[in-house]
Structure 1
Amino acid sequence: MDFTLSTRPGRIGTVVEVVGEVDMSTTPQLRDRLHEVAQGGARVVVVDLTGVGFLDSSGVGALVVAYKDLRERGGWLGLAGVSRPVRSVLSITSVDRVIGIFDTVRDAEEASAAAT
């Protein structure tokens, strides 16, 4: 499966949609995109992982770095559409205790409004 990233305005903030496997070869693209979005002034970012079936430790690291970056700027990061295998990785690494995981982008956006 090809790896693609797209960025669009959400109802609240910015949505970064990820499709494909997030591994050592694709993580730099994800990390750079999340950094660009934060540098561009986004305060609320939802990463839509609906199209992601695999996430390795490098991808987890990129999400944590983006979370910290946004938090330092007074922003918020949430994950939406997380598949069972990806959710397992986030649970094993305890990232799910720090970064909010939501069923849909809409659910994440509603949670961000309450959190910010």
Structure 2
Amino acid sequence: MNDHDAHKEVPWRLTAGSDPGVIAFSGEIDFSVTPAVRERLWELVGKAGKHIELDLADLTYIDSSGLALLLELRKQLAEADRTVAIRSISPQVRKLFNLTQLSDLFGLPD
């Protein structure tokens, strides 16, 4: 591995938001990173309360594996009597949510 590879930026990031229960996504999520995203997501969900809000404002791309992960999150939270909603979303990801008719499932703001 050369120095360039060592400092190569990860194409995605998940962080706890400034408000309790907020999980912020940024970058690009596709099938090649979904397993790592899943691991980080469950770590953050474990520290969050009953209601979780997703901040997707800085998410520039998500493919079907990423959408499947969000649906899995919603299902598992519902089974635990917890909820999830989208707080904010980037225009390009909003188009995908509208196209796949997932907007209502996540309480997507207008």
TM-score for both structures, normalised by structure 1: 0.74
Checking the alignment, whether the CA contact within 8 Å between 1:46 and 1:78 is kept in structure 2 is yes
Q: CA deviation at 1:26?
A: 2.5
Q: CA deviation at 1:81?
A: 2.0
Deviations 1:11-63 (A, max 9, x none): xx411111101111222233223323344463111111111111111110111
Give the aligned partner of residue 100 of structure 1: 107
Checking the alignment, whether the CA contact within 8 Å between 1:38 and 1:69 is kept in structure 2 is no
Specify which of 72, 75, 78 is matched with residue 79 of structure 2. Answer: 72
Checking the alignment, whether the CA contact within 8 Å between 1:78 and 1:102 is kept in structure 2 is no
Checking the alignment, whether the CA contact within 8 Å between 2:21 and 2:48 is kept in structure 1 is no
Percent of residue pairs identical? 28
- Deviating 4+ runs (over 6 angstroms): none
Pairing 1:1-116 to 2, within 5 Å after superposition = 2-8=11-17, 10=19, 13-40=20-47, 42-102=49-109
Distance 1:30 1:42 in 2: 20
Q: Where does structure 2 lack aligned partners over 5 or more consecutive residues?
A: 1-8
What is the CA RMSD across the aligned residues, in angstroms? 2.1
Amino acid at match of 2:39: D
What is the total number of aligned residue pairs between the two structures?
101
Distance 1:7 1:32 in 2: 14
TM-score for both structures, normalised by structure 2: 0.77
Q: Which protein shows a greater Rg?
A: 2
Q: By percentage of residues, which structure has more strand?
A: 2
